[in-house]
């Protein structure tokens, strides 16, 4: 999707809002069986909306997506929505909880992965590491 494309050189970081927006898109495509291409008209607004609101507000909200009007609204999750047209409603609490769970999960911190570069011997006479870094 165009809003998630980054300029060269590519950056490998996305905001929490970007991740939530992608989770919303996944939910819509999976639960409502709507093609991703049908969401391109609201993709920019979706990502902007998810990035413009605080995480605390979003996780207690629902998104109301009016595809025919190409608009997105954020409402508190307990709000009673007055629909003016057909809309998709996505509760954000379960998505935010899942994202938090994945991001905060202990992914085997004790395991050491591969080094991105081979280890090298320290040349003779090179300064020692500070006490803070010594084992």
Section 29-49 average pLDDT = 95
pLDDT of amino acid 10: 54
In a domain, 81, yes or no: yes
In a domain, 114, yes or no: no
| 67, burial (CB in 10 Å: exposed 0-12, middle 13-18, buried 19+) | middle
**Main-chain dihedrals φ then ψ at residue 129, nearest 5 degrees:** -65, 155
Q: How confident is the model at residue 135 (pLDDT cuts 50, 70, 90)?
A: very low
In a domain, 24, yes or no: yes
C-alpha 131/C-alpha 119 separation (Å) is: 21
Report how many domains make up the chain.
Answer: 1
pTM: 0.70
In a domain, 124, yes or no: no
What's the number of CA atoms in the CB half-sphere (13 Å) around residue 24? 31
Which residue range(s) make up the domain with 74?
10-105
């Amino acid at each position: 999707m165009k809003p998630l494309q980054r300029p060269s050189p590519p950056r490998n970081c996305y905001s929490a809002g970007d991740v939530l927006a992608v989770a919303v898109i996944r939910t819509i495509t999976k639960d409502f069986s709507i093609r991703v291409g049908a969401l391109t008209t609201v993709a920019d607004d979706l990502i902007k909306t998810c990035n413009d609101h605080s995480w605390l507000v979003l996780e207690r909200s629902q998104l109301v997506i009016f595809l025919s009007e190409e608009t997105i609204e954020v409402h508190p999750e307990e709000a009673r929505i007055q629909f003016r047209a057909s809309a998709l409603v996505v509760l954000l609490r379960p998505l935010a909880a899942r994202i938090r769970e994945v991001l905060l999960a202990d992914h085997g911190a004790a395991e050491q992965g591969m080094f991105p570069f081979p280890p090298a011997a320290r040349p003779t006479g090179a300064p020692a590491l500070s006490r803070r870094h010594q084992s």
